[in-house]
């Protein structure tokens, strides 16, 4: 394990003991700072991430603060997509690329650290305290120094605006004028601001298990805090906290500014309350971050971060190899990774991330709906290890086939539910089919009752997916199962949401905010809007619904694992592998790594160091 590796966790190395959810998280500032600080020593891989011990269950609510680091001057960074809109909350604007920069700009009660755990950001918060669980009451106390870049305080008012935008009563009557989709807000019964505006007390009508994501960047869509005082100034509303949930002219005015006023980039209204502020932006091409003069915490290491959108991974790697751009965060494939590793002067970070590739059986098609033995036979004949070896290992040598959908192997609580599945076991596949009455036809393909064990795999035209299909074809052919390639450029936009496929090969983006995954797996009539393969099992519906209200984190993870178990038995979908979070940098820079959904390669830019 080269490199200091301190970016992985607290230098004190002492995990706070499991305190359960009711843990009072008001810990002292000095004890465990620097979640991502430390100095790297150059050369080679820093992919020890795969060895990372997931944050212990219940270890949430540890404190985090930005470390003290020396100035490293200006840094150029290549991103796979450029910055676009300051307000990333609206459905119209929402794009992960905005989060690359906004993580360094927007205040947020919780910070996602390298081990995917959520920590209380002590640069912003004095404390986040669970006052009561029945009813659920959370108290947020903002630090008095926390201000926006124009000097106005960060606090309860900004939280109220997000609450108003996500929970206003008009949503229930039809139109949401704010165009946001943050979850949990409609379960709030009361949000009270202290007279100094620095404390917010939130009371929930019904328990909401993912409350840590609320008002935090990590939960995305609707949760990003915005400078509410700017909205007040621009709309003439004297006090936004006095605007009620019911429809009113003020509400409409606020919504109009909320959806339009913070689009694109405009230095006058797009304020920062983070270590950096956006100095300039050419939409989706380049953006420049400089240190925020009003930042009260430890100043970030780079004096300026010059980001450029390089959509072509090969272009990004060549810019790195040619020493034009010292830090890159491209979409990786083995070719990309090998080039950087062979380059000599560069450091690679690669680790299985939140996004996972999987093969879905369309449960609305009789071939799969009525034949679990065929689903299991396919799951037996494909060779997941071989697919991982050939297509992913080149990026991250430590990656293994994936064993769950809702919890990733680098998170606490992960259990492999698919051991022994997808090992290229031809004999097992044949036996499964023959035991269920399938007979091998003259064409070398099994058939039963007029149906052949033949289907196609729909996917977007991506080289890796076409290769995955070819490897499946090759390993299932000897088992008498014929697989066709139905790759199309438009697959993810058209065929997939329409359910127009036999099987679908695509990826879902996971998150520490687990409630976002539920809509992928519950029945369509239970809110499964992204359940494209028409899977339906009341048991899973029930278990996943429970996870949304279970406030005990350990119990909640157990519920997820029970649901995973049922799904593994049903075999409606086969998890293949995690896509790899990848970044590469000139060896002088450390510790450069990659984390989603906030920041990407920039997630810990404030803590980078540079060797002379």
Partner 1 sequence: MVDVRNPTPDRAERDAASAGFADSQARAQWRTVARRFVRHKAAVAGMVLFSLLLLFAFAGPLLWTASLDAGGDAKIAPGGAHPFGTDRIGRDMLAQVISGTRFSLQIALVVAVVATVAGVVLGALAGYLRGLVDAAISRLIDLLLCVPNLVITAVLARSTFTLAPSVQNQSNWLSVALIIALFTSWFPIARTIRGMTLSLREKEFVEAARALGAPTSRIVFRHILPNTVDVIIVNATVTVAQAVLLESALSFVNLGVHRPEASLGLLINENKNELATLPWLFWFPFVFIVLISLSVNFMGDGLRDAFDPRQRKVRE
Partner 2 sequence: MLQYVVRRVLIAIPLLIVASILTFALTTAMGDPLADWKLLKARTPAEVASEYHRIGWDRSPPQRYLDWAGGFVTGDWKTTIIPGNGTQDVRSEIGRALGVTLQLVIFAEVIALLLGMAVGALGAVRQYSPFDYAATGAAFFMFSMPLFCVAVILKFAGIQLNNWLENIGAGRWIVTSGPPRDGFSGGLGHILYSYSGAFVLPVLSLVAIQFALYSRFQRASLLDTLNADYVRTARAKGLTPARVVVRHALRTGLIPVITVFALDLGLLFGGAIITETVFGWRGMGALIVDAITKKEPWMVQSWMMITAIVIVAFTLLADIVYAYLDPRIRLG
Q: How far apart are CA 176 and CA 527, in angstroms?
A: 19
593 contacts 604 by C-beta, under 8 angstroms: yes
CB atoms within 10 A of CB 17: 10
Specify burial of residue 385 (Cβ count, 10 A radius: 0-12, 13-18, 19+): middle
Print the binding letters for residues 372-391 with partner 1: x by CB under 8 A, - otherwise. --------------x---xx
Cβ pair 47, 580 in contact under 8 A: no
**By CB under 8 A, what part of segment 568-587 binds partner 1?**
none
Select 194 or 467, whichever has its Cβ closest to partner 1.
467
Nearer Cβ to partner 2, position 315 or 441?
315
- Considering only 5-13, 276-284, 468-476, 529-537, which stretch makes contact with partner 1 by CB under 8 A? 468-476
Q: What does the angle CA 458 – CA 463 – CA 468 come to, to the nearest 5 degrees?
A: 60
348 strand-pairing partners: 45, 584
**Which position among 487, 515, 546, 587 is part of the footprint of partner 1 (CB under 8 A)?**
487
Q: Are 531 and 524 in contact (CB under 8 A)?
A: yes
Which of 160, 491 has the CB closer to partner 2? 491
Kindly state the smallest distance separating residue 324's Cβ from partner 2, in Å: 5
User: Cβ of residue 394: shortest distance to partner 1, in angstroms?
Assistant: 8
Binding segment for partner 1 among 151-159, 189-197, 479-487, 590-598 (CB under 8 A)? 479-487
Residues 437-466 that bind partner 1 (CB under 8 A): 456, 461, 463, 466
* Residue with smaller CB distance to partner 2, 248 or 314: 314
When asked if residue 365 is in the footprint of partner 1 (CB under 8 A), the reply is no
Query: Count of alpha carbons within 13 Å of 550, Cβ hemisphere only?
Result: 18
How many residues touch partner 1 (CB under 8 A)?
Answer: 31
What residues form DSSP beta bridges with 204?
188
Containing 540, the helix (H) or strand (E) segment is: helix 538-547
Q: Taking CB under 8 A as the rule, which mask of x and - marks residues 294-333 in contact with partner 1?
A: -------------------xx------------------x
**Which class for 342: exposed (0-12), middle (13-18), buried (19 or more C-beta within 10 A)?**
exposed
> Before 135, cis peptide (omega within 30)?
yes
Of partner 1, partner 2, none, which one sits near residue 28, judging by CB under 5 to 8 A according to partner kind? none
Nearer to partner 2, 189 or 494 (CB): 494
Residue 2 or 477: which CB sits closer to partner 1? 477
Binding at 493: pick from partner 2, partner 1, none (beta carbon under 5-8 Å per type): partner 2
Tell me how far, at minimum, the Cβ of 575 lies from partner 2, in Å: 24
DSSP state string for 544-580: HHHHTT---HHHHHHHHHHHHHHHHHHTSEEEEEEEE
Q: What b/e string do you get for 320-341 counting C-beta neighbours within 10 Å, with b at 16 or more?
A: bbeeebbbbbbbbbbebbebbb
Shortest distance in whole angstroms from residue 472 CB to partner 1: 9
Please give the residue ranges that form the binding site for partner 2 (CB under 8 A).
78, 84-85, 91-95, 174-176, 181, 263-264, 283-286, 308, 310, 312, 315, 318-319, 321-325, 493, 497, 529
Residues of this chain, 392-411, that bind partner 1 according to CB under 8 A: 394
Q: Cβ of residue 506: shortest distance to partner 1, in angstroms?
A: 17
Looking at residue 377, the DSSP 8-state letter turns out to be H
199-207, 400-408, 472-480, 508-516 -> range binding partner 1 (CB under 8 A): 472-480
H-helix segments, 131-242: 156-167, 170-173, 228-235
| Cβ pair 456, 502 in contact under 8 A | yes
Could you tell me if 487 and 450 are in contact, meaning their C-beta atoms sit under 8 angstroms apart? no
Binding site for partner 1 (CB under 8 A): 313-314, 333-336, 338-339, 342, 386, 390-391, 394, 456, 461, 463, 466-467, 469-471, 473-475, 477, 484-489
């Amino acid at each position: 394990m080269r490199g200091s590796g301190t970016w992985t966790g607290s230098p004190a190395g002492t995990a706070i003991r499991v305190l359960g959810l009711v843990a009072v998280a008001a810990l002292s500032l000095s004890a465990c700072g620097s979640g991502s600080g430390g100095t790297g020593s150059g050369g080679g891989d820093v992919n020890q991430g795969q060895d990372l011990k997931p944050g212990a269950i219940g270890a949430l609510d540890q404190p985090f603060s930005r470390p003290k680091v020396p100035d490293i001057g200006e840094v150029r960074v290549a991103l796979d997509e450029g910055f676009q809109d300051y307000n990333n909350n609206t459905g119209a604007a929402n794009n992960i690329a905005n989060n690359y920069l906004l993580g360094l700009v927007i205040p947020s009660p919780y910070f996602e650290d390298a081990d995917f755990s959520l920590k209380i950001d002590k640069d912003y918060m004095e404390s986040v305290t669970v006052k009561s669980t029945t009813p659920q009451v959370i108290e947020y106390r903002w630090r008095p120094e926390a201000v926006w870049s124009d000097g106005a305080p960060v606090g309860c008012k900004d939280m109220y605006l997000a609450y108003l935008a996500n929970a206003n009563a008009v949503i229930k009557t039809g139109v949401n004028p704010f165009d946001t989709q943050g979850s949990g807000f409609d379960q709030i019964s009361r949000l009270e601001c202290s007279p100094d505006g620095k404390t917010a007390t939130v009371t929930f009508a019904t328990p909401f298990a993912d409350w840590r994501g609320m008002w935090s960047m990590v939960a995305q869509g609707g949760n990003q805090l915005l400078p509410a005082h700017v909205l007040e100034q621009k709309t003439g509303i004297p006090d936004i906290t006095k605007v009620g949930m019911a429809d009113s002219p003020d509400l409409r005015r606020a919504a109009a500014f909320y959806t339009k006023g913070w689009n694109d980039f405009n230095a006058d209204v797009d304020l920062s309350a983070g270590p950096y502020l956006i100095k300039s932006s050419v939409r989706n091409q380049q953006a420049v971050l400089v240190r925020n003069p009003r930042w009260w915490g430890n100043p970030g290491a780079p004096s300026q971060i010059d980001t450029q959108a390089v959509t072509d991974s090969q272009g990004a790697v060549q810019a790195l190899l040619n020493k034009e751009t010292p830090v890159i965060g491209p979409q990786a494939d083995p070719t990309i990774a090998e080039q950087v590793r062979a380059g000599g002067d560069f450091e690679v970070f690669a680790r299985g991330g939140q996004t996972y590739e999987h093969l879905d059986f369309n449960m609305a098609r009789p071939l799969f709906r009525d034949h679990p033995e065929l689903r299991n036979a396919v799951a037996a004949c494909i060779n997941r290890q071989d697919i991982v070896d050939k297509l992913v290992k080149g990026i991250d040598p430590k990656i293994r086939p994936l064993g769950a959908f809702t919890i990733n192997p680098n998170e606490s609580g992960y259990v492999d539910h698919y051991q022994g599945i997808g090992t290229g076991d031809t004999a097992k596949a044949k036996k499964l089919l023959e035991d269920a009455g399938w007979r091998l036809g003259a064409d070398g393909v099994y058939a039963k009752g007029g149906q052949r064990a033949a289907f196609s795999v729909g996917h977007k035209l991506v080289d890796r997916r076409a290769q995955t299909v070819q490897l499946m074809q090759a390993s299932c052919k000897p088992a008498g199962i014929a697989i066709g390639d139905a790759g199309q450029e438009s697959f993810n936009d058209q065929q997939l949401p329409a359910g127009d496929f036999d099987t679908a090969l695509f990826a879902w983006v996971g998150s520490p905010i687990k409630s976002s995954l539920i809509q992928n797996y519950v029945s369509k009539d239970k809110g499964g809007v992204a359940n494209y393969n028409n899977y339906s099992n009341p048991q899973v519906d029930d278990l996943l619904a429970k996870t949304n209200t279970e406030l005990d984190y350990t119990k909640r993870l157990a519920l997820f694992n029970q649901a995973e178990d049922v799904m593994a038995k049903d075999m409606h979908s086969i998890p293949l592998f995690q896509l790899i979070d990848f970044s590469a940098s000139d060896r002088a820079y450390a510790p450069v790594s990659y984390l989603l959904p906030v920041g990407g390669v920039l997630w810990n830019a404030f803590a980078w160091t540079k060797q002379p």
